[in-house]
Every structure is written in C-alpha cells, then in structure tokens.
Amino acid sequence: MITKSGRIIYKGYAIPDPLRSFEDFVRAHNGDLEYLDDSELYGEEVKVRFAFASLDNETKQRTTIFLGPDEFVDLESWLLLRLAAIRNERRRRQMEGYYD
C-alpha cells in the first residue's frame, strides 16, 4: 500500500497454516497457483519475493510450516519452493499455449 506521503507500507505475507483451512492446505502445497490468472500469479510472485527479502534471522529460525504428517519445512525453504512453483506454472502455461 502506498500512503499519501508516498511511503510504501508492507502489510506482511500471509503464511499458510494447513491446519487452519483447506485453502491454506492447498496453498501450502502450491496447488492454488494453477487457478490464479496472470496478474494474480505475478502479484503472488512479487509478494513472495518481498517476503523472502524481508526475512530476518530470527524469523527464519523460528518459523516452520507444517505440510503433513512428519513433514515440516522452514519458512525460507518454503518461500523458495513457492517461487520455483510459480516459475513452473508460468512455464507450463507457455508450453500449453496459454499466452498465444
């Protein structure tokens, strides 16, 4: 969000909690990306990149995402996986002629 003074305010990136809702479960496993339109996919990439750039060491060490039974991933790794999934979704769309 940009305020009247022109300053950018970062409201944070909502980290999925698969135990909170089905939507968060799907998002934690990147299953939502195929349903985003191009502008939403681009917006998600920007948000993930900004969240990654904003990580501090304390947050990296104390934030873990539960993906399933005996399956946990730290926040930094999940953000990198999310970026890779976004790139793969964009590549899939190009290969299927989505942009033609």
Question: Taking the complete model, does pTM exceed 0.85, yes or no?
Answer: no
pLDDT above 50 (res 2): no
How many structural domains comprise the chain? 1
Confidence of residue 10 (pLDDT cuts 50, 70, 90): low
Would 65 be classed as within a structural domain?
yes
Q: How many CA atoms lie within 13 A of 39 on its CB side?
A: 0
Q: What is the span of the domain harbouring residue 65?
A: 22-95
How many Cβ atoms are within 10 Å of 69's Cβ, its own excluded? 5
Q: How many CA atoms lie within 13 A of 12 on its CB side?
A: 4
Provide the pLDDT for residue 7: 52
Would 37 be classed as within a structural domain?
yes
